[in-house]
Amino acid sequence: MACKNCLNNPVIQLTNSSVKLCKSCFIKYFEKKALATIKSYKLVEKGDNIGVAVSGGKDSLTVLSILKKVRDKFTDIKLEAILIDEGIEGYRDKTIIDARKFCDDNKIKLHIFSYKNEFGSTLDNAKNKVALKPCTICGVFRRYLLNKYSRKLGFNKLATGHNMDDEAQSILMNQFKNNAEVSARLGPITGIKKDEKFIPRIKPLYLLTEKEVASYAFLKGLVTTFTECPNSFDSYRGYVRDTLNDMEARFPGTKHGIVNSFLEMLPLLKKHYGKNASEIRTCSECGEPCTGNICQACKLAKKIIS
């Protein structure tokens, strides 16, 4: 079987169809799809100052690479990278090397902030001090630091490497735990017009699967290793991911079905839950936005230090 578009040897079969593509045609297909997502959901506009949340993994270096292409085409867009070093030995220290290399090679400014400097403890140490799963700690700390420093650095949007698999997992997880309200905060662009203290998030890889993103990163030589976070294996998300991959293998198109039916309902969810949205206050300890008196990050940081 040759590539659908030319006679070269194929390197990938797309997950949602029987189409096979060679390296060059796959890269074109991938970039076209990411750019179409950016255009269709107006993720990037003239004058944007975009921060890209990078970890040094395949997803974040791919989104940075795609946005660099957009910036090179439209000179009135600013682009910088922001990396949160959680302090996960044998994982983050490795991916930081790839992140630095990509940013150096492409002359993109890279800002690094760490749990250690900000909260006085690495994740490796913190997870032994509180009865919380490491993914829960990261859910609070990463989101906090990314928002705080994106605002301080003057970004008006923060781009993340979330792909279709991530989104399909989140949709199902919220559904399985009866958290439809949380799903109203998903989608390819979030946080617009919510509160100026929250930096809107954009997801240019929203309509590309994990397999496609990994293939792109590998074929473009963006990453040297495919390391996965050591904490991800026994998580709830990890189980949902494996179940979903099994379903996709048996019934190709399942992930697309989940995300596309969600996109159809998203405007209804946003309208419905937008009416009852919690009032945004300011944390009395750090001044960051929160819904109560003290933000989750300050509460958690206290527990870790004590």
What is the rounded CA–CA span in Å between residue 94 and residue 166? 22
The residues near 70 (Cβ < 8 Å, ≥ 6 apart) are: 35, 38, 44, 77
Q: What tokens does 266 get?
A: 């998203």
Q: Which of 261, 271, 241, 258 shows the shortest CA–CA distance to 181?
A: 271
Closer of 267 and 287 to a second copy (Cβ): 267
Q: Can you name the residues that pair with 52 across neighbouring β-strands?
A: 81, 159
What is the rounded CA–CA span in Å between residue 288 and residue 297? 10
Closer of 15 and 62 to a second copy (Cβ): 15
Rounded to a whole number of angstroms, the minimum distance from the CB of residue 84 to a second copy is 29
Q: Alpha-carbon torsion 144, 152, 205, 179, what sign?
A: positive
What is the rounded CA–CA span in Å between residue 94 and residue 210? 21
Closer of 200 and 252 to a second copy (Cβ): 252
Instruction: Please give the DSSP secondary-structure letter assigned to residue 175.
Output: H
Rounded to a whole number of angstroms, the minimum distance from the CB of residue 210 to a second copy is 17
Rounded to a whole number of angstroms, the minimum distance from the CB of residue 262 to a second copy is 8
CB atoms inside a 10 Å sphere around CB 259: 22
The residues binding a second copy (CB under 8 A) are: 174-180, 236, 239, 243, 246-247, 250-251, 253-254, 256-258, 260-262, 264-265, 268-269, 272
Rounded to a whole number of angstroms, the minimum distance from the CB of residue 167 to a second copy is 13
Rounded to a whole number of angstroms, the minimum distance from the CB of residue 248 to a second copy is 10
What is the rounded CA–CA span in Å between residue 232 and residue 175? 20
Closer of 153 and 266 to a second copy (Cβ): 266
Closer of 30 and 262 to a second copy (Cβ): 262
Report which residue type is found at 241: R
Closer of 93 and 246 to a second copy (Cβ): 246
- Residues for the chain: how many in total? 306
Instruction: Tell the residue number behind the tokens 């070093």, with chain if given.
Output: 85
Q: What tokens does 160 get?
A: 């993340």
Closer of 196 and 242 to a second copy (Cβ): 242
Rounded to a whole number of angstroms, the minimum distance from the CB of residue 96 to a second copy is 34
Rounded to a whole number of angstroms, the minimum distance from the CB of residue 29 to a second copy is 21
- The SS3 call for residue 159 is strand
Instruction: List Cα–Cα distances, 211 to 115, 159, 164, 189, 203, in angstroms.
Output: 30, 20, 10, 22, 16
Rounded to a whole number of angstroms, the minimum distance from the CB of residue 266 to a second copy is 11
Closer of 264 and 279 to a second copy (Cβ): 264
